[in-house]
């Protein structure tokens, strides 16, 4: 007779869930979708936030001003080095660093993802932010630039490594190899290295208009900024050669001011000392605009998340309410034959928990896959639509997984238990008659 | 022994008052096999619910072995319902997701089901000739069989008294008769008291004592000699 029967609370909970498959599957889906949406949104926002932060925190950019030629811009114009002395005489200015910028091509290199494609995948909402970033690093004059013309161009920056080192500037982080010490060396942005297949020790030939020069790659750098990371950095002399500049000609002067000095005042001084010649790009302003826009974006995100959670609680409630008559009678019966209120609540809690934990875990998995799913599926239906590379933008943290599961459990347990709590509080007799 | 003193239940709906039960004084000795009859709405179910501690009286008291059950705390009342009382309902009230034997021992699940309990459950179901239905769900067995499961559930903890509210109400006369016969056998074998509410005079005729209720009051309380 000794047949083994597994008869503990959680066995009853499992049996209840399996016995009502349709209801259980609906609940599972409700929780899964809510968690996936929450997770997908959070990871996308976190990824974008990290991108913005890295861009704005780059190289002490908050107290930096860039000075460029007023008529041809930072990219095609020139500034005379003599301006350095003039600007350095302004009180509050700490350093003035010259840089040379060029749009170049790499000989015999196929770029997997040329610069232009990164730009083209950006949605209108992100466009504004990207433009700010582009302005910040001062490579392209956005107003008139059609990105499609730039499909095989990358940006080259000529720097004086010693000067940049003083101000903790370009490049912010060498991930492999080292910075060049003499002319003829180059360091590559991480993304460019990845897309071109080039690495430390390789040689590249850089073409700019009718000039070209071959460099050896001494290192790979990373800044977190996708456009900077798609550039090549060489010595200022080499850059001047490629552009056909004289010794005293540079593209841009980066002015670093003392802490606590208002950038706009320094900017005004520069304008009055070099009247009509220069334009000022104030990075503290750009950084604050980006932050402001991003904070606005986050407010929308929170609203969406709140709606997702409330909707899922509502949906779960609706599913649970469908079977409330049967459930109430069942609870009345259990109470009549000796179950305590806490026993009934325990059973329903275990049931909700099983469903929500499974639903949340599936939701997190779906949330991780969501960017890939969107990227793959949307082009099938809307072939013209430009989808941002979401899977590369997202950032997943363990905290996010914990948060998602907690939110799924909260929604599931609240939605799953509220209708039953009423039944538990009723007298058994009222529960029978329900 | 169960005893009631001036047991009264008044239902209030807004200003309207409905008398469910009025001044019931009743003594039920251990081992009795009795029925409660009366027209619909006369208060039979109300009496059963009050006897079993499922509802609270408006006035009066229910004493089980001399103890007023209203003095019990919620937890003790639950234990009383589990250990001393068994309930059988008209529409069986089995848990549809659990099989027969699980339904029989369900009252013990929160505190853990001792192995003897499962054995007793199997023995009861076997006695009811359901040994081959132990792992069937309620939806997979007949109404009569469901009621047998419900009776086994009521008896599992060796209660002092089983309160059955129209246990044959949903059954045809053949399976209804079988149910009453099984109850009588359990009454004789285990000495458990049965209080059976019924409309059916054939059922009440099987019991030793018939209490007739009308408008919430006992109008007749007679001893009866069952006819075979
Ligand atoms: N929850 C309630 N609220 C209001 N009135 C109630 C309630 N429960 C029962 N009543 C009333 O109390 C009286 C007794 O009801 P009870 O259910 O005990 O009758 P009964 O004898 O079991 O009837 P039946 O044979 O139809 O089951 C009836 O008039 C009924 O309408
Ligand atoms: Mg009734």
Whole-number pLDDT of residue A149: 43
Q: How confident is the model at residue A73 (pLDDT cuts 50, 70, 90)?
A: confident
Residues of B in contact with A432 (CB under 8 A): 89, 93
- Asked if pLDDT for residue A2 goes beyond 50, the answer is no
Whole-number pLDDT of residue B164: 97
- Asked if pLDDT for residue B139 goes beyond 50, the answer is yes
Q: How confident is the model at residue A297 (pLDDT cuts 50, 70, 90)?
A: confident
- Span A330-339, mean pLDDT? 95
Residue B199 included in any domain: yes
Domain carrying residue B96: 29-56+73-223
For the residues of A179-221, what is the DSSP string, one character each?
---STTEEEEEHHHHHHHT--TT-EEEEEETTEEEEEEEEEEE
- Asked if pLDDT for residue A393 goes beyond 80, the answer is no
Residue A159, H or E segment: strand A154-159
Query: B interface toward A at CB cutoff 8 Å?
Result: 49, 52, 54-56, 74-75, 78-79, 81-83, 86-87, 89, 93, 95-98, 101-102, 105-110, 112-113, 115, 118-119, 122, 134, 137, 153-154, 157
Residue B6 included in any domain: no
- Span A159-166, mean pLDDT? 80
Q: Write out pLDDT tens, residues A189-233.
A: 888 888 788 899 999 999 988 899 999 999 998 876 666 778 899
d(Cα B23, Cα A176) in Å, to the nearest integer? 95
Whole-number pLDDT of residue B32: 97
Of the candidates B98, B115, B134, which has its C-beta nearest A12's C-beta?
B98
Listed residue (A74, A50, A41, A84) closest to A301, CA to CA: A41
CA distance A15 to chain B (A): 6
Determine whether A13 is exposed, middle or buried from the number of CB atoms within 10 Å of its CB (0-12, 13-18, 19+). buried
Whole-number pLDDT of residue A142: 42
Q: How confident is the model at residue B124 (pLDDT cuts 50, 70, 90)?
A: very high
- Span A280-309, mean pLDDT? 80
- Asked if pLDDT for residue A6 goes beyond 90, the answer is no
Average pLDDT of chain B? 95
Whole-number pLDDT of residue A117: 47
Name which of A118-122, B115-119, B194-198 the model is least confident about.
A118-122
Residue B207 included in any domain: yes
Which CATH number goes with the domain that contains B129? 3.40.50.300
Whole-number pLDDT of residue B59: 94
Q: Which pair of structure tokens corresponds to residue B167? A: 């246990």
Residue B20 included in any domain: no
Query: Which of B46, B52, B203, B204, when mutated, tests ligand 1's pocket best, judged by the most ligand atoms within 8 Å of its CB?
Result: B46
d(Cα A192, Cα B218) in Å, to the nearest integer? 96
- Asked if pLDDT for residue A3 goes beyond 60, the answer is no
Whole-number pLDDT of residue A284: 72
d(Cα A7, Cα A18) in Å, to the nearest integer? 15
Residue B126 included in any domain: yes
- Asked if pLDDT for residue A72 goes beyond 80, the answer is no
- Span A2-6, mean pLDDT? 58
Q: Which DSSP symbol is given to B5?
A: E
Q: Write out pLDDT tens, residues A18-64.
A: 999 999 999 999 999 999 989 988 888 888 887 777 666 554 566 78
For B110-135, b/e burial (b = at least 16 CB within 10 A) is beebeeebbebbbebbebbebeebbe
d(Cα B146, Cα B150) in Å, to the nearest integer? 6
Whole-number pLDDT of residue A290: 73
Looking at the structure of chain B, the number of domains it has is 1
On whether the CB atoms of residues A355 and A24 are closer than 8 A, the answer is yes
Residue B62 included in any domain: no
Helices (H), ranges, A279-340: 283-322, 324-336
Q: Which residues pair with A252 in a beta bridge?
A: A68, A99
Number of the ligand 1 atom closest to the C-alpha atom of B38: 21
Whole-number pLDDT of residue A195: 79
Whole-number pLDDT of residue A141: 42
Residue B115, H or E segment: helix B115-127
Percent with pLDDT over 90 in chain B:
97
Determine whether A164 is exposed, middle or buried from the number of CB atoms within 10 Å of its CB (0-12, 13-18, 19+). buried
- Asked if pLDDT for residue B220 goes beyond 90, the answer is yes
Number of the ligand 1 atom closest to the C-alpha atom of B48: 18
Q: Write out pLDDT tens, residues A241-250.
A: 999 999 999 9
- Chosen for mutation from A18, A24, A338, A347 (greatest number of chain B CBs closer than 10 Å) is A338
Q: Which residues pair with A98 in a beta bridge?
A: A253
- Span B189-199, mean pLDDT? 96
Residue B17 included in any domain: no
On whether the CB atoms of residues A32 and A366 are closer than 8 A, the answer is yes
d(Cα B183, Cα B34) in Å, to the nearest integer? 11
d(Cα A182, Cα A155) in Å, to the nearest integer? 20
For residue B199, the ligand closest to its alpha carbon is 1
Residue B212 included in any domain: yes
Helices (H), ranges, A98-243: 115-120, 124-137, 161-166, 190-196, 236-243
Query: Which of B11, B56, B217, when mutated, tests ligand 1's pocket best, judged by the most ligand atoms within 8 Å of its CB?
Result: B11
CA distance A9 to chain B (A): 6
The answer to whether the Cβ–Cβ distance between A16 and B97 falls below 8 Å is yes
């Amino acid at each position: 007779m000794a047949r083994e029967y597994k008869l503990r609370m959680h066995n009853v909970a499992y049996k209840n869930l399996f016995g009502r498959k349709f209801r259980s599957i609906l609940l599972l889906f409700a929780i899964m979708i809510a968690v996936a949406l929450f997770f997908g949104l959070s990871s996308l926002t976190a990824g974008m936030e990290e991108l913005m932060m890295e861009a704005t925190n780059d190289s002490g950019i908050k107290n930096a001003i860039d000075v460029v030629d007023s008529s041809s811009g930072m990219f095609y114009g020139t500034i005379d080095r003599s301006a350095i002395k003039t600007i350095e005489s302004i009180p509050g200015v700490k350093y003035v660093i010259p840089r040379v910028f060029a749009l170049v091509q790499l000989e015999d290199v196929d770029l997997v993802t040329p610069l232009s494609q990164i730009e083209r995948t950006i949605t209108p909402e992100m466009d504004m932010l990207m433009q700010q970033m582009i302005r910040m690093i001062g490579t392209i004059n956005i107003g008139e630039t059609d990105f499609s013309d730039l499909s095989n161009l990358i940006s080259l920056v000529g720097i004086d490594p010693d000067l940049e080192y003083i101000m903790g500037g370009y490049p912010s982080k060498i991930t492999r190899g080292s910075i060049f010490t003499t002319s003829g060396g180059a360091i590559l942005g991480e993304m460019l290295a990845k897309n071109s297949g080039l690495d430390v020790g390789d040689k590249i030939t850089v073409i700019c208009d009718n000039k070209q020069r071959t460099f050896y790659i001494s290192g790979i750098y990373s800044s977190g900024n996708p456009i900077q990371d798609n550039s090549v950095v060489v010595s200022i002399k080499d850059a001047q050669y490629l552009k056909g500049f004289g010794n005293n000609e540079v593209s841009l002067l980066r002015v670093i001011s003392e802490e606590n000095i208002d950038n706009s005042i320094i900017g005004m001084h520069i304008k009055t000392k070099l009247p009509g010649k220069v334009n000022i790009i104030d990075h503290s302003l750009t950084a604050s605009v980006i932050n402001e826009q991003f904070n606005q974006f986050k407010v929308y995100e929170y609203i969406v998340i709140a709606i997702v959670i409330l909707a899922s609680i509502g949906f779960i409630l609706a599913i649970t309410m469908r079977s409330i008559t049967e459930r109430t009678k069942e609870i009345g019966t259990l109470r009549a034959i000796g179950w305590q209120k806490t026993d009934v609540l325990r059973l329903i809690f275990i049931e909700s928990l099983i469903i929500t934990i499974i639903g949340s875990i599936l939701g997190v998995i779906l949330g991780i896959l969501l960017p890939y799913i969107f990227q793959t599926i949307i082009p099938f239906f809307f072939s013209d639509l430009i989808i941002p590379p979401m899977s590369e933008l997202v950032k997943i943290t363990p905290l996010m997984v914990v948060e998602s599961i907690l939110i799924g459990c909260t929604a599931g347990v609240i939605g799953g238990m509220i209708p039953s709590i009423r039944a538990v509080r009723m007298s058994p007799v009222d529960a029978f008659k329900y | 022994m169960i005893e009631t003193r001036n047991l009264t239940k008044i239902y209030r709906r807004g200003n309207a008052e409905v008398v469910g039960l009025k001044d019931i004084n009743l003594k039920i000795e251990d081992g009795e096999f009795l029925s409660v009859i009366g027209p619909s709405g006369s208060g039979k179910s109300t009496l059963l619910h009050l006897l079993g501690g499922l509802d609270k009286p408006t006035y009066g008291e229910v004493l089980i072995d001399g103890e007023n059950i209203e003095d019990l705390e919620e937890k003790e009342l639950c234990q009383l319902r589990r250990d001393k009382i068994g309930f059988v309902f008209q529409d069986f009230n089995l848990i549809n997701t659990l099989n027969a034997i699980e339904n029989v021992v369900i009252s013990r699940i929160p505190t853990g089901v001792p192995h003897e309990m499962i054995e007793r459950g199997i023995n009861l179901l076997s006695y009811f000739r359901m040994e081959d239905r132990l792992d069937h769900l309620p939806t997979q067995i007949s109404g009569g069989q469901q009621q047998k499961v419900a009776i086994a559930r009521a008896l599992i903890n060796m209660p002092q008294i089983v309160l059955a509210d129209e246990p044959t109400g949903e059954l045809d006369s053949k399976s209804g008769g079988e149910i009453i016969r099984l109850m009588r056998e359990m009454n004789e074998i285990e000495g458990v008291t049965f209080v059976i509410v019924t409309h059916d005079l054939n059922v009440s005729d099987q019991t030793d004592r018939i209490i007739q209720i009308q408008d919430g009051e006992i109008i007749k309380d007679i001893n009866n000699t069952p006819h075979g």
